[in-house]
Structure 1
């Protein structure tokens, strides 16, 4: 693929004595949504954390727009325009929604038009704007977590399981927000266990197993091939799991 926004080449990451990533190779096309898929525990979250600099790669290259960011500290990667939504949401519970959002807008005051757009896709954020984030429901906290990453236009968004454990109505809200972000031309690397969401949003897919990439291609190809899904992940997207 031409001019990917992100490329991982031979990335190895160790956590204590465990070799988690074992030579990960894939590319994220610019202006597309790339789904990072696979069973639990195969290294998807570690891949995002390594890209973001939370874990240090032992070997390999992580190239963002032509610059190798492997080894850079997390704040430097963030300043390069990478937004990250961790699986544990990473919000500040003791602060208000407003304060959480202000902290996330690193380049200055929040753009009013972008804030109005976020309110339109996540109405509870406007409703509870002055309220403490810790008082939000689980789904509302996830909305805030994603909105914090989206408060400014980023070069690349890394999003880890945004619909995990959420009620179907909230999943629909999340998917709609991510679709709007996609329609704006955003480049997104998305870990997602809900395959109906993955099928609806993904342009391309990368499937991991045991710390390695075992398949990469068009999301539509994977979505339309039940035997391939079963072979790669032991799951059928047709079943909606």
Structure 2
């Protein structure tokens, strides 16, 4: 395991009267894919949003390359090289696909070679380049959401349930794109309910329940142990909030 690029130490986050994160400790190694798994309401989305500064940690440290970013505003965290693909996609429907992409490029004009790679893995984005993003199907909007995050090289990609509600063929396209990103040395923290997608992409796993990390280890260990999967992923059948 390489050195962690990101480390959360004792992170607590409250949303209104709810104590959602209750002492989260997790390390995200550089250049690898860490899966954040667990039942609905366990705190996975809250963890990503807290890292991004969209929700503020009440307590604890969030270290990016050793620098505590827990109190920084979201735009500063973005400029430090962190990109979030939100669960709701966050696409601007009235803007063209091109305009959505240009807005996402924080460091300057879009890189032509990187754009060619994006078009190769997500061909519909080239087809609809000049058209409003609202014309895209749900799967194509998810492609655009991922493309916006990866339009330039970032230190860390936070990706929240990219396969949710998508047809298997689209999920396969997303897996290929994320494998390409991983092969290029990207550091990714990925929330995903689709275990086959998690198994295909993940190097490491952190499993959440009730606002805490309850298991960490290698994806290969979890993938090879059905009893452990049942024990941990069976949590996904329970209810909850967050």
Give the structure-1-normalised TM-score.
0.96
Alignment of 1:96-115 (within 5 A): 96-115=96-115
Query: Does residue 1:134 correspond to 2:134, yes or no?
Result: yes
Query: Does residue 1:9 correspond to 2:19, yes or no?
Result: no
Alignment of 1:1-241 (within 5 A): 2-234=2-234
Aligned counterparts of 2:172 and 2:9: Cα–Cα separation in 1: 34
Aligned counterparts of 2:68 and 2:3: Cα–Cα separation in 1: 15
Say which structure, 1 or 2, has more relative contact order (CA 8 Å, 6+ apart).
Answer: 2
CA apart distance, 1:230: 0.8
- Does structure 1 retain, via aligned residues, the 8 Å contact 2:209–2:235? no
- Does structure 1 retain, via aligned residues, the 8 Å contact 2:50–2:56? yes
**SS of residue in 2 equivalent to 1:149:** helix
CA apart distance, 1:2: 4.8
Q: For structure 1, which runs of at least 5 residues remain unmatched after alignment?
A: 237-241
CA apart distance, 1:28: 0.2
Aligned counterparts of 2:129 and 2:191: Cα–Cα separation in 1: 28
Instruction: List 4+ stretches of structure 1 deviating above 6 A.
Output: none
Aligned counterparts of 2:65 and 2:189: Cα–Cα separation in 1: 15
Aligned counterparts of 1:185 and 1:198: Cα–Cα separation in 2: 18
Structure 1 match to 2:239: none
User: What do residues 180-225 of structure 1 show as CA deviations (whole Å, max 9, x unaligned)?
Assistant: 0000000000000110000010000000000000000000100110
Aligned counterparts of 2:232 and 2:82: Cα–Cα separation in 1: 29
CA apart distance, 1:3: 2.1
**SS of residue in 2 equivalent to 1:40:** coil
Aligned counterparts of 1:225 and 1:8: Cα–Cα separation in 2: 27
Structure 2 match to 1:239: none
- Does structure 1 retain, via aligned residues, the 8 Å contact 2:8–2:62? yes
Aligned counterparts of 2:107 and 2:232: Cα–Cα separation in 1: 41
User: What do residues 56-82 of structure 1 show as CA deviations (whole Å, max 9, x unaligned)?
Assistant: 000000000010000111000000000
Aligned counterparts of 1:101 and 1:2: Cα–Cα separation in 2: 31
User: What do residues 24-70 of structure 1 show as CA deviations (whole Å, max 9, x unaligned)?
Assistant: 00100000000000011100000000000000000000000010000
RMSD over equivalenced CA pairs, Å: 1.0
Give the structure-2-normalised TM-score.
0.96
CA apart distance, 1:232: 1.1
**SS of residue in 2 equivalent to 1:163:** coil
